[in-house]
Homo-oligomer: A and B are copies of this chain.
């Protein structure tokens, strides 16, 4: 990345990634308050105290900033899921239950506690921003990992092609993985984790 040429803090200023983080943090706060749609890069620049041109040195568009915010937010969900499923001494069946439960709980908590941020994630999902696609791929890789382990241990059936099983489970979880869909499924979030987990686990029985 080039040295900023406009409104540069100083020739020996903070590293680029610090400035990026600073912009993302300020944008996060601003979007959380005013919403993504209603905020312009000019508004952001004013709020942070940078020039618009300087912000464009680091992010090519408002969407790029939104994507960075989503990446942070979805990374937190992924970390929560990872922690829940990677406990020692639990079976693939239990891992799967925890995957579903944590996914739904973190998504719902985002919806209720940080609605504006949730709305950015939903927008990201509808527009297929990279952050959203990466998230989807990570969840799918967790599913793959659990199913594969369950098959190796003889806990899950092995007749169905592995990729079909993973695709189908991912599709069944989609209403709760995808923020765009989850907001329309809030009525079901109480019973969904066990209903969906049980259904999928029955389908995995050897």
Cross-chain contact A198 with B167 (CB below 8 angstroms): no
A169 CB to closest chain B CB (Å) equals: 7
B168, B184, B205: the one contacting A126 at CB < 8 Å is B184
Contacts of A188 in B (CB 8 A): 171, 174
B165, B172, B181, B196: the one contacting A184 at CB < 8 Å is B181
Cross-chain contact A202 with B157 (CB below 8 angstroms): yes
**Majority secondary structure, A binding face:** helix
At the interface, yes or no: A203 with Cβ under 8 Å from chain B?
yes
At the interface, yes or no: A113 with Cβ under 8 Å from chain B?
no
Contacts of A198 in B (CB 8 A): 160, 164, 168
B175, B181, B185, B203: the one contacting A199 at CB < 8 Å is B203
Size of A's binding interface in residues, CB under 8 A: 29
A158 CB to closest chain B CB (Å) equals: 12
Cross-chain contact A184 with B195 (CB below 8 angstroms): no
At the interface, yes or no: A192 with Cβ under 8 Å from chain B?
yes
Contacts of A204 in B (CB 8 A): 202
CA distance A200 to B164 in the complex (A): 13
At the interface, yes or no: A60 with Cβ under 8 Å from chain B?
no
Contacts of A175 in B (CB 8 A): 171, 174-175, 181
CA distance A169 to B184 in the complex (A): 17
